[in-house]
Amino acid sequence: MHTLYSRLGANVTAFLARPHRLLIDGQWVEPRSERRFDVEDPGTGAVIARVAEGTAADIDLAVAAARRAFESGPWATSRPAERTRLLLRLAELLEQHGDELAQLETLDNGKPLAVARRGIAGTADMVRYMAGWATKLTGEAVPLSMPGEWHAYTAHEPVGVVGQIIPWNFPLSMAIWKLAPALAAGCTVVLKPAEQTPLNALRLGELILEAGFPPGVVNIVTGFGGDAGAALAAHPGVDKVAFTGSTQTGKRIVQAALGNLKRVTLELGGKSPVFIFPDADLEAAIPGAANAIFFNSGQVCSAGSRLYVHRRVYDRVLADIAAHGERLRLGHGLEEGVDLGPLISRPQRERVEAYVADGRASGVEVLGGRQVLPEHGHFVAPTVLADTRADLRVVREEIFGPVLCAMPFDDDDLERLAGLANDTEYGLFAGIWTRDLTLAHRFARRIRAGSVSVNAHMVNDPALPFGGYKQSGWGRERGREALELYCELKSVAINLG
């Protein structure tokens, strides 16, 4: 298995071997704890690097540096066009180092190299999109009706020092989705990557320095959630915390943020429904619904994990999705032709396996999931649980693995179908497959979710807002909305006499 590592570029091998420190105030510094922790390749279980264990003491230093940069450094008076220029430079560096970043992403997270490579290209697009907003975040002149003559206007001002806590499923993309709008808006940042996948955040830190961002604008503290993460969420010197991860941890973030009432945005879990109507183009809907759950081995917050199929086409759709899953090649992300990598860790694999066992125990039929798994690494085969019921744990809880729960419907009543879609504490995403546009529009309106795709799944355009209703989160990422959530809105009224 390790022979695969000979495919790594020299720059990747060199990066892995470097001593990894924390980025604070433009310098790479040792953690106060003087401890390091192991970073594992989930495709082999081997330790590939050791990174600094940042703790509350390092968070204090990072927040202080971010505060100085926000209030008195060159960033404090930076013109919007200067922020655009720096972000565009960063986008170029992401592209230049695309192969290297993709290899690191694969090693750290496990995903197939081709998938990682596409993800890196997407990060450059996101940075460019957000870079453009820096010069376009206008307020408005407000006509007042009070007696007298007035000039009143609104203006967006950066919220200040932002703590950003990100998950392990798309390590670099999640860092970029968080950093790009915050920097475009003029905030300064302390970023804490997930302990499972800290590598690309560190490489990104190097590229951020190379792009020329002033010291303290971006600080990166690797460390554990319960320690560095909790300290960041609770820190009185942080004006906003932005989090992506589990709903359970999101609730802890909210509690930690109460102390200084910092602003909070959350992008949390999901149990997103996909509906296939009998008139749908099944040639597209079947692979679409399969990818919606199997992509990234199901470790996607917006995964289409509940599938509702009209009874007329149910048997065929299920058999074909299971067959699609069985054709997917599982393997180490650096292997040629691999479709699915491992899950992120042993505990994650055990969690997912326990859900499948629970489904089996409650009597549902299990389709697929029979591939021979690679010997090393935390692999789970794509699995379809057929004829599931709304009350089952596998249908109610987020599994975060390649496990689809399928149910037939034979109802034409959209209110009742929306009742099925909305029978969840989450509300992140929904998919609709039909050729009937009227049906699609009417159904989309009735679904309580932040994103709906029709005849497509996961439309990740930087311009399209993404975020959750209900317990899937607060706020939106991507689009203008993401920037506005890194701003305070000020209104100014001038008495002209």
Q: Which residues are annotated as catalytic?
A: 267
Can you name the residues that pair with 162 across neighbouring β-strands?
Answer: 189, 240
* Nearer CB in complex with Mg ion: 158/198: 198
DSSP assignment of 32-81, as one string? TT--EEEEE-TTT--EEEEEE-B-HHHHHHHHHHHHHHHHTSGGGG--HH
Cβ(434)–Cβ(456) under 8 Å? Answer: no
What does the per-residue mask of binding to Mg ion show for 93-132, with x meaning CB under 5 A? Answer: ---------------x------------------------
383 binds ligand ADP (CB under 6 A): no
Give strand ranges (E) for 270-329.
Answer: 272-276, 304-310
Exactly one of 233, 280, 340, 356 binds ligand ADP (CB under 6 A); which one?
Answer: 233
Instruction: Look up residue 42 and give its two tokens.
Output: 């989930």
Exactly one of 245, 450, 467, 468 binds ligand ADP (CB under 6 A); which one?
Answer: 245
Binding region for ligand ADP (CB under 6 A) out of 227-235, 307-315, 442-450, 481-489:
227-235
What does the per-residue mask of binding to ligand ADP show for 246-285, with x meaning CB under 6 A? Answer: x--x--xx--------------------------------
Distance CA 487, CA 480 (A): 11
Q: Shortest gap between Cβ of 233 and ligand ADP (angstroms)?
A: 5
With CB cut-offs between 5 and 8 Å by kind, which of ligand ADP, Mg ion, none does residue 108 bind?
Answer: Mg ion
Question: What 3-state class would DSSP assign to 481?
Answer: helix
468 binds ligand ADP (CB under 6 A): no
In the β-sheet with 473-474, what is the strand arrangement from edge to edge?
27-29, 22-24, 218-220, 188-192, 161-165, 240-244, 263-267, 473-474
Binding region for ligand ADP (CB under 6 A) out of 132-140, 190-198, 289-297, 426-434:
190-198
Exactly one of 19, 226, 259, 419 binds ligand ADP (CB under 6 A); which one?
Answer: 226
CA separation, residue 57 to residues 23, 37, 64, 133, 188 (Å):
14, 17, 11, 34, 19
Cβ(387)–Cβ(314) under 8 Å? Answer: no
Binding region for ligand ADP (CB under 6 A) out of 44-52, 206-214, 245-253, 449-457:
245-253
195 binds ligand ADP (CB under 6 A): yes
422 binds ligand ADP (CB under 6 A): no
Phi, psi (deg, nearest 5) at residue 491:
-115, 140
The residue with its CB nearest to ligand ADP is 225
* Nearer CB in complex with ligand ADP: 264/322: 264
Q: Shortest gap between Cβ of 402 and Mg ion (angstroms)?
A: 19
- 188 to 227, contacts with Mg ion by CB under 5 A? 196-197
Exactly one of 4, 194, 309, 338 binds ligand ADP (CB under 6 A); which one?
Answer: 194
Distance CA 60, CA 237 (A): 9
Judge residue 454's burial from the number of C-beta atoms within 10 Å of its C-beta, 0-12 exposed, 13-18 middle, 19 or more buried.
middle
Binding region for ligand ADP (CB under 6 A) out of 5-13, 86-94, 187-195, 213-221:
187-195
Question: What 3-state class would DSSP assign to 414?
Answer: helix
Query: Pick from 218, 238, 177, 224: which is nearest to 36 by CA?
Result: 224
* Nearer CB in complex with ligand ADP: 24/238: 238
342 binds ligand ADP (CB under 6 A): no
Q: Shortest gap between Cβ of 199 and Mg ion (angstroms)?
A: 7
CA angle, residues 485, 490, 491, in degrees to nearest 5:
140
Count of residues that interact with ligand ADP, criterion CB under 6 A = 17
Q: Which residues bind Mg ion (CB under 5 A)?
A: 108, 196-197
Q: Which residues bind ligand ADP (CB under 6 A)?
A: 165-167, 192, 194-195, 224-226, 229-230, 233, 245-246, 249, 252-253
